[in-house]
Amino acid sequence: MNSKNQFAFKKLIVPGIVMLAFWILAIVGWQSSGYIQPLILFGYIGTSLGIGLGLYAALPKKKKQVGRKLTLFLIGGALLVFMGLLQSENMQIEWVFFSILAGLGGGALTHYLIAKVFGPLLFGRLWCGWACWTLMILDLLPHPKSKGRIPGNWGWLRYVHFALSLGLVLVLWFGFDYQDHIYFNSVTGLYWMIAGNTLYYLVGISLAFILKDNRAFCKYVCPITVFLKTTCRFALLKIEGDREKCTECGTCVRMCPMDIRVMDCTRDGQRVLSTECTVCQTCVTACPNDALKLSFGFDLGGKELLREKGEVVRKKWRMNQTIYYVVVVILFVVGLGLLALPDPSSETPSRCSRSRIPACPSSSLSSPYRKLRRMGVFDFLFACQSFLISPCFSVSFSGYAANSVAVLTV
């Protein structure tokens, strides 16, 4: 009983640490600002993450992703509706640039600093896999299993998107005197929020159906990853594999929505160091040997091992597998030889008397054996056995054919 309780407690360590970190942030923000909003907002986010990660840890394998999708709606939906639509607080990257130029704090800048700059130093791209309101919708589409990335480095598109967004803001700010439109709870911010998210959803959904990949927007277009990929290199929380448990079946690679070659990381004795990992734990769920888990540690990320379209995930051949199949073949051959023993009570001369094989031992054989013998089944098995262990296959097969024809003509 104690071992079960200890095992359950270990599963809840990561959810507890994440929730505690956000509640500490909530209390610090509340005390330093004197406003209750940070306490409510960050406390809500931390509690939602704790519930989602806890459900993921506690639920059976087939239902684990329910915890993650629930958290996506609890956090992503709340930020999109409450902060964005109701309070006109634009969370898009363009508004962050406007806030910096205007010297504003606000929810957008605070959100980016916590979720996409400093947060990834601790928890990696946890935002992407568990809280993003864009992924909240994209994960509902019918292409969760990717067949690999488009060959070539198409990730440069996200940097183009980032540069275009920054360029648009600079042109509006310095060329069209846009300063008067940038203030807290402005209607302009609401328009930017609606227009930006609508564009993101249209592009994301279109790419998902064209490339048959729900995460295509995340891999090639999303500008937010410019921040995330930089800071999540130093993340303490990463996926870790156990080389002793791993059979290199490749399931984790085939199931990873971001096309990370998780199996290669485990084989090399490293944690998943790719900056593309969103900590969604799909690989952890899919592993048939429970060889993957979340862990805290100090290692520098940035080693990108990604699967492209057309790459075949092969299972590495191991010595124990070779021995297993050799034993199976030997048993198969010996079994065929035993089954091919002729019926000594038959009136027709047995093959043993016509060949150079020593005389077969006499025994009392059952009626089913004789029926199978007359149908030529054992003659066929004997031919297979002779083909495997004797160079005289043609002689054995000729004997089988002659006996079979004789039986069929009776």
pLDDT band at 106 (very low <50, low <70, confident <90, very high): confident
Q: Is the dihedral of CA 163, 228, 158, 66 positive or negative?
A: negative
Please name which of 365, 364, 356 lies closest in space to residue 399, comparing C-alpha atoms.
Answer: 356
In contact, 93 and 162? CB cutoff 8 Å: yes
Q: What is the pLDDT of residues 273-303, one digit of tens each?
A: 999 999 999 999 999 999 999 999 999 887 8
Q: Residue 253 has what pLDDT?
A: 95
In contact, 261 and 305? CB cutoff 8 Å: yes
Per DSSP, 361 falls in state P
Joined together, the tokens standing for residue 173 give 């700010």
% of the chain surpassing 90 pLDDT: 48
Q: Residue 79 has what pLDDT?
A: 85
Q: Residue 365 has what pLDDT?
A: 46
Torsions phi, psi for 256 (to 5 deg): -65, 120
- End-to-end Cα distance, the chain: 70
CA distances from 327 to 320, 334, 341 (A): 11, 11, 22
Helix (H, G, I), strand (E, B) or coil at 358: coil
Q: Name the maximum alpha-carbon separation found in the chain.
A: 110
Average pLDDT over residues 60-88: 85
Q: Residue 108 has what pLDDT?
A: 79
Count Cβ atoms within 10 A of the Cβ of residue 58 and give its class: 0-12 exposed, 13-18 middle, 19 or more buried: middle
Per DSSP, 236 falls in state S
pLDDT band at 327 (very low <50, low <70, confident <90, very high): low
Average model confidence (pLDDT) across the chain: 80
Contacts of 16 (CB under 8 A, 6+ apart): 50
Torsions phi, psi for 294 (to 5 deg): -85, 145
Joined together, the tokens standing for residue 152 give 């070539």
In contact, 257 and 280? CB cutoff 8 Å: yes
Rounded Cα gap, residues 52 and 61, in angstroms: 14
pTM of the model: 0.73
Q: Which amino acid is at 9?
A: F
Q: Which amino acid is at 293?
A: K
Rounded Cα gap, residues 103 and 183, in angstroms: 10
Count Cβ atoms within 10 A of the Cβ of residue 303 and give its class: 0-12 exposed, 13-18 middle, 19 or more buried: middle
In contact, 196 and 134? CB cutoff 8 Å: no
Helix (H, G, I), strand (E, B) or coil at 29: helix
Please name which of 314, 256, 326, 317 lies closest in space to residue 285, comparing C-alpha atoms.
Answer: 256
Tokens 């328009």 found at: 191
List the beta bridge partners of residue 296: 237
Q: What is the pLDDT of residues 332-391, one digit of tens each?
A: 666 555 555 554 454 444 444 444 444 444 444 445 545 445 555 455 555 554 544 444
38 has a pLDDT exceeding 90: no
Identify the weakest region by mean pLDDT among 63-67, 208-212, 385-389.
Answer: 385-389
Q: Residue 223 has what pLDDT?
A: 94
Helix (H) or strand (E) holding 239, with range, is strand 237-241
65 has a pLDDT exceeding 50: yes
Q: Residue 238 has what pLDDT?
A: 95
Helix (H) or strand (E) holding 68, with range, is helix 64-71
One-character DSSP codes across 311-344: ---PPPP-HHHHHHHHHHHHHHHHHHHHHT---T
Write down the domain spans for the chain. Answer: 59-231, 321-345+365-409
> What is the CB-side half-sphere exposure of residue 352 using CA atoms within 13 A?
13
Helix (H) or strand (E) holding 50, with range, is helix 37-58
The residue ranking higher by pLDDT, 159 or 323, is 159
Contacts of 170 (CB under 8 A, 6+ apart): 97
pLDDT band at 394 (very low <50, low <70, confident <90, very high): very low
Rounded Cα gap, residues 193 and 190, in angstroms: 5
* Count of C-beta atoms within a 10 Å radius of residue 318: 11
pLDDT band at 321 (very low <50, low <70, confident <90, very high): low
Rounded Cα gap, residues 261 and 64, in angstroms: 22
CB burial string 194-209: b at 16+ within 10 A, e below: eebbeebeebbbebbe
Rounded Cα gap, residues 368 and 38, in angstroms: 82
Q: What is the pLDDT of residues 218-270, one digit of tens each?
A: 999 999 999 899 899 999 999 999 999 999 999 999 999 999 999 999 999 99
